[in-house]
Amino acid sequence: MRRFSVLPRLTLALALLCTAPLPQAALPLAVDGQPLPSLAPMLERVLPAVVNISTVTAIETADHPLLRDPFFRRFFDLPRERKRESNSLGSGVIVDARCGLVLTNHHVIDKADQIRVTLQDGRALEASLIGTDPETDIAVLQIPAEGLSALPFAAADALAVGDFVVAIGNPFGLRQTVTSGIVSGLGRSGLGIEGYENFIQTDASINPGNSGGPLVNLRGELIGINTAILAPGGGNIGIGFAIPVDMARAIMTQLVEHGEMRRGQFGAAVQNIDHALAAALGLERRAGAVVTRIDPDSAAAAAGLQVGDVILGVNDEPIANASDVRNRFGVLRVGSRVALDIVRDGQALRLSGVIADPYRDYLPGARIDEALAGALIGAFDRSGGVPGLPVGRVEPDSPAWMAGLREGDRILNANGVRIDGLQTLARALRRAGGLYSLSLQRGDELVRLARR
């Protein structure tokens, strides 16, 4: 037998009665002669600097790799390969009005063939990519326009948990959407989102399409670049993350100067300090990071750092954990001086060093063969650790880049010859009269490249 209750209906009736509009019950414009607080004046200055970013990426539709070979298609008189376009939406923020520089996320423009930026006034402009850094998810675009508005950078150390913040972007294609909240946490890491993580956590709503947009304080200053949300069920649950402005600005500076991020190398490995380790090291509190390895002939070794040292500060900035150390070094350029505050055997010390070039011992590819011009090639590891020759930086649009080489590759085979040294690589290319085929280790994948 079905049962019904009158209680919900009674409750609903009371709710409707209690929420019924009353005459002259509108929110007053002022209280005791003072206007109510509003974000509108600040947003009037900020919104012109927030842009919509749309991208177009051509995707090949061939099902089998053989069908992508132009020679194969011509030989069998197959029709031209069809391509479809993939579109994506994101946000960005103008940070330099004179030069037309726009900060956004790497994942917003990754692999895009065309990038279009739409301003608040409706102008749509083709943007050029200045540089991008996948490790921090930062990208810099440039747009050819006059009369732009830019956001000022906030002081990086002025942000605190509990500060009110505003997130702006284009979620789900809805232009110029504003949400507000507070700073829920600082220095968030270990999320597995990016290579370098030092996120601002906020409960201001960040949704698909907000990526790359600004997180600002109540003065309208840029404090972060909206990047990601924690959404176990696929929806927003009030946990969003933004890249802090000091990290974004440091990356942007190098991208503008070099078109890429040129990270230096210090040569030390560290780990977090738990309660047991803190007690064993005689530390009063669980802070900093303990050194577990020093690379031979590294900048860390030259600075006098030793295994067992506890790093408490880098360049006068406190270190909370191992991730903090990685983030601090991750934005330093080659040749930067670094000051370390450490504890060794209970004694406080201050060390200084210089960030080294990780490719200082690499050989310019042009000295091996013109086909490798634009790349840096490292020597063979004869200790038996890793096979092949490591590839360092590769200049975009250089012969090495056009041949398919990328930073981080390892050259295993060239023109059918197994490579076990720089001289072997040079002979393999010289005897064949050029570069015709390469076998590379790229991450966990084996990649084969061929040139005609």
Of 141, 167, 142, 148, the C-alpha closest to 223 is 167
Take residue 213 and report the two structure tokens written for it: 């947009």
CA dihedral (175, 185, 192, 392) positive or negative:
positive
Cβ 137 vs Cβ 106: under 8 Å: yes
Q: Is 345 annotated as a binding residue?
A: no
Of 202, 200, 174, 220, the C-alpha closest to 39 is 220
Q: Is 275 annotated as a binding residue?
A: no
Active site residue 409: no
From 107, 205, 298, 324, the catalytic residue = 107
Q: Is 231 annotated as a binding residue?
A: yes
Contacts of 63 (CB under 8 A, 6+ apart): none
Q: Is 210 annotated as a binding residue?
A: yes
Q: Is 422 annotated as a binding residue?
A: no
Cα–Cα distance, 331 to 262 (Å, whole number): 9
From 54, 91, 184, 211, the catalytic residue = 211
Q: Is 193 annotated as a binding residue?
A: no
Q: Is 211 annotated as a binding residue?
A: yes
Contacts of 88 (CB under 8 A, 6+ apart): 54, 55, 57, 108, 112
The residue whose two tokens read 């423009």 is 109
CA dihedral (17, 23, 29, 34) positive or negative:
negative
Cα–Cα distance, 294 to 301 (Å, whole number): 6
The residue whose two tokens read 């096979």 is 387
From 137, 203, 309, 324, the catalytic residue = 137
Cβ 224 vs Cβ 245: under 8 Å: yes
- Taking the CB of residue 32, how many other CB atoms lie within 10 A of it? 5
Which residues are bridge partners to 90 per DSSP? Answer: 53
Active site residue 437: no
Q: Is 181 annotated as a binding residue?
A: no
Contacts of 166 (CB under 8 A, 6+ apart): 39, 42, 43, 46, 178, 179, 180, 204, 215, 216, 217, 218
Active site residue 137: yes
Binding-site residues from annotation = 107, 137, 209-211, 227-231
Which sequence positions are flagged as catalytic? 107, 137, 211
Binding-site residues from annotation for substrate = 107, 137, 209-211, 227-231
